[in-house]
Amino acid sequence: MKKSFKLMAVCLAAATMLSMSACGGKNSDESGVSEGSSSLDNIKRNGYITMSTNAEFEPFEYNEGSEIVGIDVEISKKIAEKLGVKLRMNDVAFGALIQEITSGKADFVAAGMTADDDRRKNVDFSDNYFDARQAVIVRLDSDIKEPKDLDGKKVGVQEGTTGDIYCTNEDGSSEIKVASVERYNKGMDAVSDLISGRIDAVVIDDFPADKFVDKNSSKIKKLESMLTEEKYAIAVKKGNTELMELINEVLKEMNESGEMDQILNQYLVKE
Ligand code: GLN
């Protein structure tokens, strides 16, 4: 009796390990077939859907205790709920998110990700769900008053983001010409370097900028003028129209029911 219980426990542990390794990003289902692993049938059969994000981006995704919370997490929960499955989340560097999808580690990415043409070469985007802009954060006593004052300055960005692309200005299309770009994995680390004087400004999306400023308002501020206009969307594997359509349906329902506004209000005003 005792022995069989022990055996069961071992089996259970093995099964858990198996499912955990799937969660950890194997791009294949049990049959070893990687193609179509994000199909709705597979997702339903597995009983979970995997979303990848970078939980350093309050109010869209951030850690509260041991939990990842935020606007994108609320939307992702709705997507899982619509499919009747559990939500699993991978927290990775922002620069690794597109690869999470192309490699099949994630079914979708919800990360305050701007739907831009370069990314569209590798993933498909859902309908837009949020309008954002790049903002500039400086120290309270800074001589940077306008975006054009960034010329010749040392600017911190989150690596691989549209703020990084804008400041790096590889194609020469940005209005500003900064002296150097410092790249960070976490926006918070860029803000710390700004406060300690190692860099002159941080360029980051406007709502995360507000959160950083709120927490350090005796030291830093956000410039009123913004740099870019962008739209956030959810990314899926190229050609996965059935998941894309389902996500668009969820976004539409959330907009029509007023739930999206409610969630945005809840997180954008929350301190
Ligand atoms: N919206 C920006 C981008 O897509 C930044 C997103 C983020 O840092 N999570 O590049």
- H/E segment holding residue 248: helix 241-257
168 pLDDT higher than 70: yes
Percent of the chain past pLDDT 90, that is, above it, reads 84
- pLDDT of 10 reads 45
- pLDDT of 270 reads 58
28 pLDDT higher than 70: no
Instruction: Kindly report the pTM of this predicted structure.
Output: 0.84
For the segment 128-151, what is each residue's pLDDT rounded down to a tens digit? 999 999 999 999 999 999 999 999
Mean pLDDT score of the chain, rounded to an integer? 88
- pLDDT of 271 reads 53
- pLDDT of 20 reads 42
Alpha carbon of 131 to ligand 1 centroid (Å): 12
178 pLDDT higher than 60: yes
Chain CA centroid to CA 43, Å = 21
Alpha carbon of 111 to ligand 1 centroid (Å): 7
- pLDDT of 37 reads 72
Percent of the chain past pLDDT 70, that is, above it, reads 86
- pLDDT of 19 reads 43
Instruction: For a ligand 1 pocket test, name from 131, 161, 184 the mutation site with the most ligand atoms within 8 angstroms of its C-beta.
Output: 161
Residue reference for tokens 């004087």:
197
**Which one has a higher pLDDT value, 127 or 15?**
127
Q: Residue 163 in 3-state DSSP?
A: helix
Q: Which atom of ligand 1 is nearest to the CA of 114?
A: 4
Which residue in 25, 21, 19, 75 sits closest to 50, CA to CA?
25
Instruction: For a ligand 1 pocket test, name from 58, 205, 230 the mutation site with the most ligand atoms within 8 angstroms of its C-beta.
Output: 205
- Of all protein residues, whose CA lies closest to atom 5 belonging to ligand 1? 161
124 pLDDT higher than 80: yes
For the segment 232-251, what is each residue's pLDDT rounded down to a tens digit? 999 999 999 999 999 999 99
Average the pLDDT over each of 18-32, 74-88, 189-203, 243-257 and give the range with the smallest value.
18-32
Assign 3-state DSSP to the chain and report helix, strand, coil percentages, each to 5.
40, 25, 35
31 pLDDT higher than 60: no
Q: Are 187 and 173 in contact (CB under 8 A)?
A: no
For the segment 146-167, what is each residue's pLDDT rounded down to a tens digit? 999 999 999 999 999 999 999 9
Q: Residue 149 in 3-state DSSP?
A: helix
Residue reference for tokens 């951030």:
62
| Degrees to nearest 5, angle at CA 264 with 261 and 265 | 85
What is the average pLDDT across 70-92?
97
